[in-house]
């Protein structure tokens, strides 16, 4: 069993597994080389050979404990027949929500679109060393709604979002729940061992709507993972002091904390769950000594807890791979 699975399943504290969100990405020169020749991001995600190669790039560079498949949370609305575009500097854009196409999409058509993702997982699994884990992922329904309705474009993202057309949204959430589960189980069958659920915009939900848009949808996905013996890592970014309520209601195998969460508070309040992440990705852009001191701080705080070293969000494009290596090497020295 890999270090990561021991931590997740057995709550093993004898070592600290390490991987990074966006570890296969724009900070690596080998990634940039491939990306420069493949301008269409979605096509790149659906190129199973290249997606597998990109997944393995950080594994070849660093002694990480897990690979995370190179894909995107928006392959789901794309497979539900929406016109998803990745616009330079502005990010993802749903060209025109077609609710009828969305709701009428059949399972076989959905899975046919996503077949290259499953092929990439199979190819990666064959390449990956036996003591390393393979993580797959989905976006949580709320976060997918943000992109489906282009709410990133139309709102100040420091303010809570007021969703309209509740009847339509109810149908969308039901469809997402059904098809996200379909994607989860097919990723498992292809070889993924762990599912991370990204609720990247959870912090934008109004407090009175957290059950409806965050806790209940995430709990449904986690329950499905549990029924299919898939460890789950939930990342409800931006929930602040509501992280504890999330854990109590959703009951994931592990909770990934962002940099706004006090790690000491998390240690003292999060029970019966593995804790992942927390360190501010921006610290990797500055003084190396400060970044390594912060690494030590997180290792010290969680020394008696099942803890997975990661960041409070993804590795930033400006990050020097050398600092990533030094952090990985330091974490790999932990023996308890």
Average pLDDT by stretches of 10, the chain with 336 residues: 96 96 97 95 97 98 98 97 82 87 97 98 97 98 94 69 88 98 98 98 95 98 98 97 97 98 97 96 96 98 96 98 98 87
* pLDDT on residue 111: 98
Instruction: Tell me what pLDDT residue 157 has.
Output: 63
Whole-number pLDDT of residue 154: 57
Q: What are the C-alpha distances in Å from 10 to residues 116, 121, 231, 274?
A: 33, 25, 11, 10
Asked if residue 177 lies in contact with residue 213, where contact means CB atoms within 8 angstroms, the answer is: no
**What long-range pairs does 145-148 form, CB within 8 A, spacing at least 24?**
145/169, 145/172, 145/173, 145/176, 145/213, 146/201, 146/204, 147/73, 147/74, 147/77, 147/84, 147/92, 147/94, 148/77, 148/82, 148/94, 148/97, 148/102, 148/172
d(CA 2, CA 134): 10
Judged by DSSP in three states, 320 sits in coil
237 in Cβ contact with 205 (< 8 Å): no
Which residues lie across from 276 on neighbouring strands?
256, 308
**pLDDT at residue 159, rounded to an integer:** 76
Domain ranges of the chain: 3-331
Domain 3-331: which CATH number of 3.20.20.210, 3.40.1710.10, 3.40.640.10, 3.90.70.10: 3.20.20.210
Give just the sign of the alpha carbon dihedral 79, 40, 73, 65. Answer: positive
Instruction: Look up residue 286 and give its two tokens.
Output: 């500055």
Tell me how far apart the terminal alpha carbons of the chain are, to the nearest angstrom: 18
Q: What is the helix (H) or strand (E) element at residue 44, kind and residue range?
A: helix 41-45
What pLDDT is stored for residue 161 in this prediction? 87
pLDDT number for residue 185: 98
Predicted pLDDT of residue 85:
86
């Amino acid at each position: 069993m890999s270090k990561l699975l021991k931590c997740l399943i057995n709550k093993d504290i004898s070592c600290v597994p390490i991987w990074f969100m966006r570890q296969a990405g724009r900070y690596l020169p080998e990634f940039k080389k491939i990306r420069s020749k493949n301008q269409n991001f979605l096509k790149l995600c659906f190129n199973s050979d290249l997606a597998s190669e990109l997944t393995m790039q950080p594994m070849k560079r660093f002694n990480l404990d897990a690979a995370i498949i190179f894909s995107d949370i928006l392959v789901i609305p794309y497979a539900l027949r929406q016109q998803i575009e990745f616009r330079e500097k502005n990010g993802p854009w749903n060209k025109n929500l077609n609710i009828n196409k969305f709701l009428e999409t059949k399972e076989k058509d959905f899975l046919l679109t996503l077949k290259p993702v499953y092929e990439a997982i199979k190819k990666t699994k064959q390449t990956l060393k036996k003591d390393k884990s393979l993580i797959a992922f989905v976006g949580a329904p709320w976060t997918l709604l943000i992109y489906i309705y282009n709410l990133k474009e139309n709102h100040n993202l420091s303010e809570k979002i007021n969703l309209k057309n509740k009847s339509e949204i109810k149908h969308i959430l039901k469809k997402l729940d059904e098809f996200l589960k379909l994607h989860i189980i097919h990723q498992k069958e292809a070889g993924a061992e762990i599912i991370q659920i990204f609720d990247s915009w959870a912090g934008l939900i109004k407090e009175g709507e957290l059950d409806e848009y965050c806790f209940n949808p995430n709990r449904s996905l986690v329950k499905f993972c549990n029924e299919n013996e898939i460890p789950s890592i939930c990342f409800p970014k931006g929930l602040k002091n509501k992280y504890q309520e999330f854990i109590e209601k959703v009951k994931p195998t592990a909770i990934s904390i962002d940099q706004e969460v006090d790690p000491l508070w998390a240690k003292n309040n999060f029970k019966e769950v593995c804790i992942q992440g927390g360190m501010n990705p921006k610290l990797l852009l500055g003084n190396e000594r400060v970044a390594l001191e912060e690494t030590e701080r997180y290792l010290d705080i969680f020394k008696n807890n099942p803890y997975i070293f990661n960041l409070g969000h993804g590795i930033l494009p400006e990050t020097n791979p050398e600092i990533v290596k030094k952090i990985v090497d330091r974490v790999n020295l932990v023996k308890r």
